[in-house]
């Protein structure tokens, strides 16, 4: 067990890889989760209609830091829409093949899915939501009581999860990436989610908000919170967002 990390790096080198499902001629997985497709979609303001204050990129990079204390001012729906577009926004769909988005992804696989625990966003009821990047909208998954407390527990007692306006939860859908890259695709999940989270940090500066990325969490706890099997789809990374 002490060397499992090194073993992972070794066994995901190209010389150890099996032929990918793509090379075997197997069908490509869908570009987006289909489990929620028949549920009502809450449409978000279109990104091109949103007016966001200009922020100099260098200034945003210099000011970027992790923030764990937030004001009680709610995040606006327009601001949440902007943050979602900056982190997973779809710029172009290549039908049945790929999506081109606001963040890079290995082979344009975009194997991440975004869930949101909303605590304090104008016009949106508190609850757990899934973000449909293809339709730029939200689907309510769960609005039962004490959701924030449950996620705090899964995040090993980090109370600021319950005090944020919204917590982003990113998951990896294994088949969408390994279809092309076999086991090496497991490396790319972690690279991709790093790109996404950094975009969130920088975009949040434009809406007067702060972010704190969370890597210390119970994998099984967050998977259970999202009703994931932990095998074909698993939790990868979280980040809280709130007004400064």
3-state helix, strand, coil in the chain (%, to 5): 35, 25, 40
Residue 200: per-residue pLDDT: 98
- Three-class SS of residue 139? strand
Nearest CA among 205, 202, 82 for reference residue 136:
82
Helix (H) or strand (E) run with residue 127 in it? strand 127-132
Which positions ≥6 away from 40 have C-beta within 8 Å?
139, 140
The token pair at 204 is 């949040």
DSSP codes, 53-117:
----HHHHHHH--B-----SPPBPHHHHHHHHHHHH-EEEEETTTEEEESS--GGG---EEEEEE
Please compute the mean of the pLDDT values over residues 130-135 and round it to a whole number.
97
Residue 113: per-residue pLDDT: 98
Read off the pLDDT band of 1 (50, 70, 90): low
The token pair at 145 is 């009581």
Cβ(225)–Cβ(238) below 8 Å: no
Which positions ≥6 away from 208 have C-beta within 8 Å?
243, 244
Read off the pLDDT band of 37 (50, 70, 90): confident
Percent of the chain clearing pLDDT 70 (strictly above): 100
Share the mean pLDDT of the chain: 96
Q: Is the pLDDT of residue 2 over 90?
A: no
24 phi/psi in degrees, rounded to 5: -85, 0
Q: Rounded CA gap, 141 and 36, in Å?
A: 9
Cβ(87)–Cβ(200) below 8 Å: yes
Q: Sketch out the chain's domains with CATH numbers.
A: 4-243 (3.40.109.10)
Q: Is the pLDDT of residue 183 over 80?
A: yes
76 Rama class: left (phi>0) / alpha (psi -120 to 50) / beta: beta
147-168 residue pLDDT tens: 999 999 999 999 999 999 999 9
Q: Is the pLDDT of residue 64 over 70?
A: yes
Please compute the mean of the pLDDT values over residues 43-69 and round it to a whole number.
93
Residue 97: per-residue pLDDT: 92
DSSP state of 119: S
191-240 residue pLDDT tens: 999 999 999 999 999 999 999 999 999 999 999 999 999 999 999 999 99
Q: Which residue has the higher pLDDT, 36 or 155?
A: 155
Residue 39: per-residue pLDDT: 92
């Amino acid at each position: 067990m002490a060397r499992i990390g090194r073993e992972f790096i070794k066994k995901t080198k190209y010389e150890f890889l099996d032929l990918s499902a793509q090379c075997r001629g197997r069908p490509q997985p869908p570009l987006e989760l289909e489990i929620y497709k028949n549920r009502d979609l809450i449409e978000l303001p279109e990104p091109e209609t949103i007016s966001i204050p200009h922020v100099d990129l260098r200034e945003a990079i210099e000011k970027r830091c992790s923030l764990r204390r937030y004001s009680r001012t709610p995040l606006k729906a327009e601001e949440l829409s902007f943050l979602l577009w900056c982190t997973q926004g779809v710029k172009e769909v290549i039908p049945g093949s790929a999506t081109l988005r606001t963040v890079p992804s290995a082979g344009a696989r975009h194997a991440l899915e975004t869930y949101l625990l909303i605590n304090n966003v104008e016009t949106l009821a508190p609850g757990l939501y899934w973000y449909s990047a293809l339709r730029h909208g939200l689907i309510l998954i769960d609005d039962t009581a004490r959701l924030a407390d449950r996620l705090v527990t899964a995040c090993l007692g980090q109370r600021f999860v319950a005090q944020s306006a919204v917590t982003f939860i990113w998951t990896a859908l294994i088949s969408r990436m390994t279809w092309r890259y076999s086991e090496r695709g497991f490396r790319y999940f972690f690279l991709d989610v790093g790109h996404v989270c950094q975009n969130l940090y920088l975009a949040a500066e434009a809406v007067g908000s702060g972010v704190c990325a969370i890597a210390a969490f119970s994998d099984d706890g967050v998977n259970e919170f999202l009703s994931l099997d932990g095998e074909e789809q698993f939790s990868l990374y979280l980040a809280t967002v709130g007004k400064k």
